[in-house]
Amino acid sequence: MVFLTRRERFNAAHRLYNKEWSDEKNKEVFGKCSNANYHGHNFELFVTVKGLPDPDTGFIVNAHSLSVLLQSEIIDKLDHSNLNLDVDFLKDVLPSSENIVIAIWGVLEKLITDCELHCIKLVETENIFVEYYGPQ
Amino acid sequence: MVFLTRRERFNAAHRLYNKEWSDEKNKEVFGKCSNANYHGHNFELFVTVKGLPDPDTGFIVNAHSLSVLLQSEIIDKLDHSNLNLDVDFLKDVLPSSENIVIAIWGVLEKLITDCELHCIKLVETENIFVEYYGPQ
Amino acid sequence: MVFLTRRERFNAAHRLYNKEWSDEKNKEVFGKCSNANYHGHNFELFVTVKGLPDPDTGFIVNAHSLSVLLQSEIIDKLDHSNLNLDVDFLKDVLPSSENIVIAIWGVLEKLITDCELHCIKLVETENIFVEYYGPQ
Amino acid sequence: MVFLTRRERFNAAHRLYNKEWSDEKNKEVFGKCSNANYHGHNFELFVTVKGLPDPDTGFIVNAHSLSVLLQSEIIDKLDHSNLNLDVDFLKDVLPSSENIVIAIWGVLEKLITDCELHCIKLVETENIFVEYYGPQ
Amino acid sequence: MVFLTRRERFNAAHRLYNKEWSDEKNKEVFGKCSNANYHGHNFELFVTVKGLPDPDTGFIVNAHSLSVLLQSEIIDKLDHSNLNLDVDFLKDVLPSSENIVIAIWGVLEKLITDCELHCIKLVETENIFVEYYGPQ
Amino acid sequence: MVFLTRRERFNAAHRLYNKEWSDEKNKEVFGKCSNANYHGHNFELFVTVKGLPDPDTGFIVNAHSLSVLLQSEIIDKLDHSNLNLDVDFLKDVLPSSENIVIAIWGVLEKLITDCELHCIKLVETENIFVEYYGPQ
């Protein structure tokens, strides 16, 4: 088994906000991350797949094809978007990094078929990132 | 003369939007950067000052004091904000990176007095940054 | 399970030195790392925790609260310190990166209670880092 | 168990090319990566070993000795080389990143004896890397 | 005046080789950089332009348009190429980083017309880069 | 004129301390940077030289030769040292980053003769760096 990781990037706005709660409760729990007018990040997405290298190509997956898939199915929807308002696969999802990686896993596990999806990593700032290895 | 640079960071939402123009014209000129629901970035701000080192301290400026100033006057206002809506010194400014560095220079040149402000650099993504050395 | 990692930094002096050995033996084994007057590093500490996201917050842990804990219990003691002389939880520990991550694990495992401590990673230089996943 | 990772770097040329295929087929599968005159990369190699810290040194391995070994057995052969033509342990190997990490594992597993080889990671660009944990 | 910098990347092979010299002389002067089978790099290109922000857009140049120009005129020719053999604007140029930035300046100064070309920077490795501000 | 920059690194301990002052005054001015037992950094040194490329080599300077010079004259003295105690060219110098770059300039300007020394840059942390262009 070899693991291959492809990095993609997207720039998006979001806020942490629980619709069930008052604005005060949101502010108390999420602090400035709940700013009503949003804030944003340069997110980095790392998608790791695993498999055996094909003897003819040396590839577990064509990294360029993987990038094309990630662009069309994930990045085109997230880049220059508002994660609370604009993204179909995040509808009704509180867009914490934890919830975003679970949602991305849900999209990709059906689309990656010639090798195995291993990990979704999302870097929110240089100081915080999350990783998800799927439901187990 | 020695030049000292201090880096600070802020995470903010913005959109590129000229109020004088139709939405179509904004979309034509700014593309996805004009998304009505905003997008965002992890901005990096580099402030460079210059001066002669003080013989007693070896400092042209106390970098900790400079950071405290930048935090209170610049970063506290920009971090987790919406650059189109929330920032006093960006009121009526189209928040392109070019316009933001000019606005930050305007704030800081009055506040930095024991050494000389030299450059404001703003990194928007890993691929784009701007620099401003003041009006000349 | 989602994994969340928080990065903190500290700048510290240390030397590699076994008190049981002669200076010659220390020099032979540790080379310039045993310099009697110390050397130092900008250490980067990555603390990874794991858990299930809270349905109300989307968090496995509030990353800001985690950072406050790491600052008060770990970083305030290590930053601008001498790792051989100044740190209570490193008393009588030869401060190799391997021993430091084990010691930090010992401090944190008692303090992190609402999610599970998963990994302590310490980056000593751009070319060397260590990782510890706890006693097993 | 503590894991220690050492980074080394090498700058090399390569092309992706299957000798059994026509040039057209190679171009179709590998695109510009099959350019007959080669292209190249600044590769980053991360070698991770694991073990228990020696009570006398605090080391699972002397990182300097590990680096000397990696330089003489791996980097001196790869650096400023053509991976298709110049490297003994890549003879008859299609030099994809996947195949390179497997080949490096083959060389190192015999040479690393006082601790255990855990992972070979190769970073090809800022957007693509592969990892190999050995045959299992 | 505001300065805007756009980063682009290309992966290429090259060798340092003076055709007027013997192989021995080339090896003596250029060392392993003269390897007959080439080596390669992940080059990073930083192009800096300067100008006054347009009051309507806040831009000194549309960074996306600049990137499209750099891709078509520079990167498409350099990426996955051999700098000694494949690039029209490097014909008969010894492809040292110094000579490459001068050649890129020559291409771009004619093409960048709505603002002013200021600097071409080329990063060859994490330890070496060159900068050129044009003939003066 | 082309500018070439070479990066070197050194890991060192230091403290900010003015011998003319009381410990209290030192603590008041320098804070935790005056810790009696020292702290330390992974310093990055960028040395920039300028000149015209040699028509035979394409070099303004052989970057490898420059690195050998920097290693023997600067890095071997600074690496794994205590900047307050161990370095001949920092004797009686309060080792602030500002004073260190001036001292390194003093050493190098006599040694760099076949091209011109342009700038000494010292990165102390990811948030602070200084630059010196010589006495003017």
| d(C-alpha A38, C-alpha A14), whole Å | 5
Which residue from C11, C32, C126 is facing F39, i.e. has the nearest CB? C11
Let me know if E33 is a catalytic residue: yes
Q: Which of D128, D132, D133, D136 to mutate to test the interface with A (most CBs of A within 10 A)?
A: D128
Rounded percentage of chain A residues whose pLDDT exceeds 70: 100
Contact F129 B5 (CB under 8 A): yes
Contact B11 A35 (CB under 8 A): no
Tens of pLDDT, residue by residue over C102-122, are 999 999 999 999 899 999 999
- Neighbouring CB atoms inside 10 A of A46's CB total 17
Q: List the subunits that have 3+ CB pairs under 8 angstroms with B.
A: A, E, F
Q: Write down the pLDDT at residue A136.
A: 78
Contact B7 F102 (CB under 8 A): no
Q: Write down the pLDDT at residue A102.
A: 98
Smallest Cα distance from D19 to chain A, Å? 10
**Catalytic residue of the set C28, C39, C64, C80:** C80
**Catalytic residue of the set F28, F39, F64, F80:** F80
CA distances from D56 to C18, C93, C103, D59, D117 (A): 7, 11, 16, 8, 22
Rounded percentage of chain C residues whose pLDDT exceeds 70: 100
- Neighbouring CB atoms inside 10 A of A65's CB total 11
Task: Tell me the Cα Rg of chain B.
Answer: 16
Residue of chain B whose alpha carbon sits nearest to that of F95: B58
**Catalytic residue of the set F8, F73, F109, F124:** F124
Within 8 A of F62 by CB-CB distance, chain E residues are: 29
Q: Which pair of tokens denotes residue E80?
A: 């996955």
Torsion angle defined by CA atoms of residues B55, B57, B59 and B61, in that order, rounded to the nearest 10 degrees:
-110
Contact C7 A126 (CB under 8 A): yes
Following DSSP, what letter does each residue of E17-56 receive, concatenated? Answer: --TTS-HHHHHHHHGGGG-TT-EEEEEEEEEEEEEPPPTT
Residue type, C108: L
Contact F94 B67 (CB under 8 A): no
pLDDT along chain A (136 residues), means of 10: 98 97 97 98 98 98 97 98 98 98 98 96 98 94
* CA E45 to the chain's CA centroid: 6
Give which of F93, F5, F85 is closest to F37, Cα–Cα: F85
Which residue from E11, E32, E125 is facing D39, i.e. has the nearest CB? E11
Contact D95 A53 (CB under 8 A): no
Contact D127 A59 (CB under 8 A): no
Which residue from E11, E35, E37 is facing D41, i.e. has the nearest CB? E11
* ipTM score assigned to the predicted complex: 0.96
Chains D and F touch (3+ CB pairs under 8 A): no
Within 8 A of E12 by CB-CB distance, chain D residues are: 39-40
Is residue A59 less than 8 Å (CB to CB) from chain D? yes
pTM: 0.98
Helix (H) or strand (E) run with residue F44 in it: strand F39-51
Q: Write down the pLDDT at residue C136.
A: 79
Q: Write down the pLDDT at residue B69.
A: 98
By DSSP bridging, strand D116-125 and strand D128-132 are antiparallel
β-strand partners of C120: C47, C132
Within 8 A of E128 by CB-CB distance, chain F residues are: 4-7, 63
| Own/partner long-range contacts of D130-136 (Cβ < 8 Å, ≥24 apart) | D130/A2, D130/A3, D130/A4, D130/A5, D130/D97, D130/D98, D130/D101, D131/A2, D131/A3, D131/A5, D131/D101, D132/A1, D132/A2, D132/A3, D132/D98, D132/D101, D132/D102, D132/D105, D133/A1, D134/D105, D134/D109, D136/A1
Q: Write down the pLDDT at residue F23.
A: 97
Give which of B4, B9, B15 is closest to B86, Cα–Cα: B15
Cβ atoms of residues A131 and A101 within 8 Å:
yes
On the 0-12 / 13-18 / 19+ scale of CB atoms within 10 A, E68 is exposed
Is residue C71 less than 8 Å (CB to CB) from chain A? no
Q: Which pair of tokens denotes residue B100?
A: 């933001």
Is residue C46 less than 8 Å (CB to CB) from chain D? no
Expressed as residue numbers, the domain containing F20 is: 2-132
Smallest Cα distance from F49 to chain E, Å? 9
As for how many domains chain B has, the answer is: 1
Is residue F68 less than 8 Å (CB to CB) from chain E? no
pLDDT at E94 over 90: yes
β-strand partners of B123: B44, B129
Contact D38 E42 (CB under 8 A): no
Detail the DSSP E strand segments found in C1-136. 2-14, 39-51, 81-82, 116-125, 128-132
Contact C40 F13 (CB under 8 A): yes
Helix (H) or strand (E) run with residue E7 in it: strand E2-14
Q: Write down the pLDDT at residue A113.
A: 92
Cβ atoms of residues C79 and C44 within 8 Å:
no
| d(C-alpha E60, C-alpha E114), whole Å | 8
Regions of chain F with pLDDT less than 70: none
Q: Which of B96, B102, B133 to mutate to test the interface with E (most CBs of E within 10 A)?
A: B96
CATH number of the structural domain spanning residue D42: 3.30.479.10
Is residue B63 less than 8 Å (CB to CB) from chain F? yes
Within 8 A of C18 by CB-CB distance, chain D residues are: 56-57
| d(C-alpha F125, C-alpha A10), whole Å | 27
Contact A5 D101 (CB under 8 A): no
Regions of chain B with pLDDT less than 50: none
| d(C-alpha C98, C-alpha D54), whole Å | 10
Q: Write down the pLDDT at residue E59.
A: 98
Contact A40 B38 (CB under 8 A): yes
| d(C-alpha A46, C-alpha D121), whole Å | 15
First to last CA, chain F: 19
Within 8 A of D63 by CB-CB distance, chain C residues are: 128
Contact C129 D67 (CB under 8 A): no
**Catalytic residue of the set D8, D116, D124, D131:** D124
Is residue C25 less than 8 Å (CB to CB) from chain D? no
Q: Which of B131, B133, B136 to mutate to test the interface with E (most CBs of E within 10 A)?
A: B131
Tens of pLDDT, residue by residue over C42-96, are 999 999 999 999 999 999 999 999 999 999 999 999 999 999 999 999 999 999 9
Give which of F124, F132, F125, F127 is closest to F47, Cα–Cα: F132
pLDDT at D136 over 90: no
Is residue F48 less than 8 Å (CB to CB) from chain B? no
Helix spans in chain C (H): 23-30, 63-70, 76-78, 97-111
Q: Is F38 left (phi over 0), alpha (psi -120 to 50) or beta?
A: left
| d(C-alpha B34, C-alpha B26), whole Å | 6
Q: Write down the pLDDT at residue E136.
A: 78
| d(C-alpha E15, C-alpha B36), whole Å | 50
| d(C-alpha D6, C-alpha D67), whole Å | 7
Within 8 A of C2 by CB-CB distance, chain A residues are: 98, 101-102, 130-132
Chains C and B touch (3+ CB pairs under 8 A): no
By DSSP bridging, strand F81-82 and strand F2-14 are parallel
Contact E127 F7 (CB under 8 A): yes
Give which of A51, E44, A6, E126 is closest to D123, Cα–Cα: A6
**3-state DSSP call for residue B73?**
helix
| d(C-alpha E58, C-alpha E2), whole Å | 11
On the 0-12 / 13-18 / 19+ scale of CB atoms within 10 A, D28 is exposed
Let me know if B14 is a catalytic residue: no
Q: Which pair of tokens denotes residue A92?
A: 């009704």
β-strand partners of B47: B6, B120
Q: Mean pLDDT throughout D108-130?
A: 97
Is residue B92 less than 8 Å (CB to CB) from chain E? no
Within 8 A of C4 by CB-CB distance, chain A residues are: 97-98, 128-130
| d(C-alpha A7, C-alpha F73), whole Å | 40
Cβ atoms of residues C114 and C61 within 8 Å:
yes
Contacts of E5 (CB under 8 A, 6+ apart): B128, B129, B130, B131, E46, E47, E48, E49, E119
Cβ atoms of residues C79 and C70 within 8 Å:
no
| d(C-alpha E61, C-alpha D60), whole Å | 54
Cβ atoms of residues A107 and C13 within 8 Å:
no
Is residue A6 less than 8 Å (CB to CB) from chain D? yes
Q: What is the 3-state secondary structure (H, E, C) of chain A?
A: CEEEEEEEEEEEEECCCCCCCCHHHHHHHHHHHHCCCCEEEEEEEEEEEEECCCCCCCCCCCHHHHHHHHHHHHHHHHCCEECCCCCHHHCCCCCCHHHHHHHHHHHHHHHCCCCEEEEEEEEEECCEEEEECCCC
Contact B99 E57 (CB under 8 A): no
DSSP B20: T
Let me know if B80 is a catalytic residue: yes
| Partner D, chain C 107-126, Cβ-Cβ below 8 Å | 126
